[in-house]
């Protein structure tokens, strides 16, 4: 009897272990697969597992016993996994990309962005015509980082437009539509009349940003480009800027500030408003994207086409990067890829690299910031209590103050206010 119980216990344990390992094998199959056209889908061979390749809910083919299939046509497909044909397990989404060749660039270009609506970057009390202090924005729900997109159902194009519409209200309550954390909301707000016969909301707003950055690649077939490798965020709110449009222009490198411990260093440059390279239509956490109209301005070597690679194809070890430390001259420098973050799909941190090139280390100290966003400041206007003379003074002071080392708009704003009090 004891032997029977022992055998049963061992048998149950083995069965449970098999079920556990089987479950782990199924869970190890990814939910999403990205491949290029002409490549194979590779899934683990598991006893009893059936894999149906589907497109638009129609079964195209049941995969062979080794669970591989070469996909020729780009598009989105789904592999439906089931156990012994009857028990549904999961769907695997397959994104088949067209084979693409791009040209790595590494050149520096000027970037100008214009927001979709106007961005709220601060709030301040308003002194009314009766010498009393007001906060018209209180209890409206509007916060720093929100975007005002319309007033009284009329779209707001820029700060000038906002100031004009607030002044034309003559102090009557206006309806504001704004975006907060990707949700469109509405509120009512009553502008305050000042001693200067102007109407204010008490909001600091901005409608643009600009700077210099590295062009990552150029696609000669679509004439599109990618740049920076990270999104552009507002200096005050630290939120990704939602853009309506943007310009891609030539730039001139003025200075390289060498990186040191605790200071990443930076490249300083000026933006040439006269020489347009192209347009920017997207600002994402992975970089900015647009279309090139004047490719000759980027000094592109059309013979250096390279196949686009997926993250899984990247290997650790020696590699090179391309960048421009002199105007118009692009060089390759040695680096070492130390680690690859293959499971990180949420931000732009995909690998850890170490700069090993002695020339690059001597010139820059390592990795440096490409975009000196405040050296070419955005034009920010203020619906506030200052009159037009003070606004003009602030516009003239901004560039001088930034050159003096004010790298933060909040510090700059406080300095200006304290100065003119």
Number of CB atoms found within 10 A of residue 40's CB: 12
Determine the pLDDT at residue 70: 72
Task: Identify whether the C-beta of residue 136 lies closer than 8 Å to the C-beta of residue 192.
Answer: yes
Check the CA dihedral 124-129-131-135 and report its sign: negative
Determine the pLDDT at residue 417: 45
Q: How long is the chain?
A: 421
Q: Which is more confident, 398 or 12?
A: 12
Spell out the residues 6+ positions from residue 344 whose beta carbon is closer than 8 angstroms to its own. 350
Check the CA dihedral 13-15-16-17 and report its sign: positive
Model pLDDT for residues 319-361, shown as the tens digit of each residue = 988 887 776 678 888 889 888 887 655 556 778 888 888 888 8
DSSP 33-84: EEEETTPEEE----TTEEEEEEETTEEEEE--TT-EEE--S-EEEEEEEEET
Helix (H, G, I), strand (E, B) or coil at 178: strand
Distance of CA 283 to the CA centre of its chain: 5
Determine the pLDDT at residue 187: 93
Task: Identify whether the C-beta of residue 213 lies closer than 8 Å to the C-beta of residue 371.
Answer: yes
**Torsion, CA 8, CA 12, CA 14, CA 17, rounded to 10:** -170
Residue 245 is encoded by which pair of tokens? 């449009």
Say which DSSP state 260 is in: B
SS (H, E, C) 109-136: EEEEEEEEEEEEEEECCEECCCCCEECC
Beta bridge partners of 184: 179
Please determine, for residue 94, whether its predicted confidence score (pLDDT) is greater than 80.
Answer: yes
Task: Identify whether the C-beta of residue 122 lies closer than 8 Å to the C-beta of residue 142.
Answer: no
Query: What is d(CA 247, CA 420) in angstroms, rounded to the nearest whole number?
Result: 34
Query: Residue 98 is inside which H or E element, if any?
Result: none
Beta bridge partners of 303: none
CATH fold group of domain 30-97 = Immunoglobulin-like (2.60.40)
Please determine, for residue 189, whether its predicted confidence score (pLDDT) is greater than 90.
Answer: yes
Query: Averaged over 52-74, what is the pLDDT?
Result: 68
Q: Distances from the Cα of 112 to the Cαs of 118, 203, 338, 372, 407, in angstroms?
A: 15, 23, 34, 12, 18
Q: In the chain, how long is the greatest CA-to-CA distance?
A: 101
Backbone angles phi, psi at 216, to 5 degrees: -80, -55
Burial 71-88 (b: 16+ CB within 10 A, else e): beeeeebbbbbeeeeeee
Query: Which residue's entry shows tokens 């062979």?
Result: 64
Residue 1: pLDDT band (50, 70, 90) is low
Tell if the pTM clears 0.75, that is, is over it.
no
Query: What is d(CA 389, CA 331) in angstroms, rounded to the nearest whole number?
Result: 48
Residue 314 is encoded by which pair of tokens? 């990247």
Q: How many CA atoms lie within 13 A of 21 on its CB side?
A: 8
Beta bridge partners of 178: 148, 185
Beta bridge partners of 13: none
Query: Averaged over 373-379, what is the pLDDT?
Result: 32
Query: Averaged over 251-265, what is the pLDDT?
Result: 68
Beta bridge partners of 215: 227
Ranges of each domain in the chain:
30-97, 101-111+207-364, 386-421
Instruction: Give the closest residue to 335 by CA, choosing from 315, 349, 319.
Output: 319
Distance of CA 70 to the CA centre of its chain: 33
Residue 404: pLDDT band (50, 70, 90) is very low
Residue 375 is encoded by which pair of tokens? 């050296």
Query: Averaged over 270-298, what is the pLDDT?
Result: 83
Determine the number of helices (DSSP H) and then strands (DSSP E) in the chain.
5, 27
Q: What percent of the chain has pLDDT over 90?
A: 13
Q: Which is more confident, 104 or 313?
A: 104
Query: What is d(CA 268, CA 370) in angstroms, rounded to the nearest whole number?
Result: 8
């Amino acid at each position: 009897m004891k032997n029977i119980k022992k055998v049963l216990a061992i048998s149950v344990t083995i069965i449970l272990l098999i079920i556990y390992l089987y479950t782990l094998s199924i869970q190890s199959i990814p939910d999403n697969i990205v491949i290029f056209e002409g490549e194979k889908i590779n899934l683990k061979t598991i006893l009893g597992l059936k894999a149906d390749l589907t497109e638009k809910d129609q079964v195209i083919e049941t995969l062979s016993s080794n669970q591989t299939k070469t996909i020729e046509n780009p598009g989105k497909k789904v592999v439906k996994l089931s156990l012994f044909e009857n028990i549904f397990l999961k769907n695997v989404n397959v994104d088949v990309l067209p084979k693409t060749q791009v040209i790595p660039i590494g050149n520096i270009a000027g970037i100008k962005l214009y927001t979709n609506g106007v961005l709220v970057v601060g709030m301040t009390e308003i002194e009314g015509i009766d010498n009393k202090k007001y906060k018209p924005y209180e209890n409206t729900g509007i916060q720093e980082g929100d975007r005002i997109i319309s007033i009284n159902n009329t779209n707001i194009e820029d700060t000038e437009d906002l100031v004009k519409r607030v002044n034309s209200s003559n102090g009557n309550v206006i309806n504001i539509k704004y975006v907060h954390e990707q949700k469109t909301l509405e509120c009512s707000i009553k502008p305050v009349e000042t001693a200067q016969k102007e109407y204010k909301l008490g909001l600091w707003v901005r409608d643009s940003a600009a700077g210099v950055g590295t062009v990552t690649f150029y696609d000669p077939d679509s004439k599109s480009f990618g740049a920076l490798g990270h999104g552009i965020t507002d200096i005050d709110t630290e939120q990704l800027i939602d853009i309506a449009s943007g310009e891609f222009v030539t730039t001139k490198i003025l200075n390289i500030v060498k990186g040191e411990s605790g200071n990443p260093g930076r490249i300083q440059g000026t933006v040439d408003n006269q020489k347009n390279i192209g347009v920017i239509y997207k600002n994402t956490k992975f970089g900015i994207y647009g279309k090139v109209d004047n490719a000759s301005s980027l000094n592109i070597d059309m013979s250096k086409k390279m196949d686009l690679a997926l993250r899984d194809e990247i290997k650790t070890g020696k590699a090179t990067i391309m960048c421009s430390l002199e105007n118009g001259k692009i060089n390759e420098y040695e680096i070492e890829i130390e680690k690859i973050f293959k499971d990180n799909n949420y931000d732009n941190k995909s690998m850890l690299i170490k700069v090993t090139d002695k020339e690059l280390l001597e010139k820059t100290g390592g990795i440096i910031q490409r975009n000196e966003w405040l050296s070419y400041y955005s034009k920010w206007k203020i619906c506030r209590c200052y009159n037009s003379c003070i606004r003009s003074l602030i516009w003239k002071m901004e560039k001088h103050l930034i050159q003096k080392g004010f790298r933060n708009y909040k510090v700059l704003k406080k300095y200006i206010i304290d100065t003119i009090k």
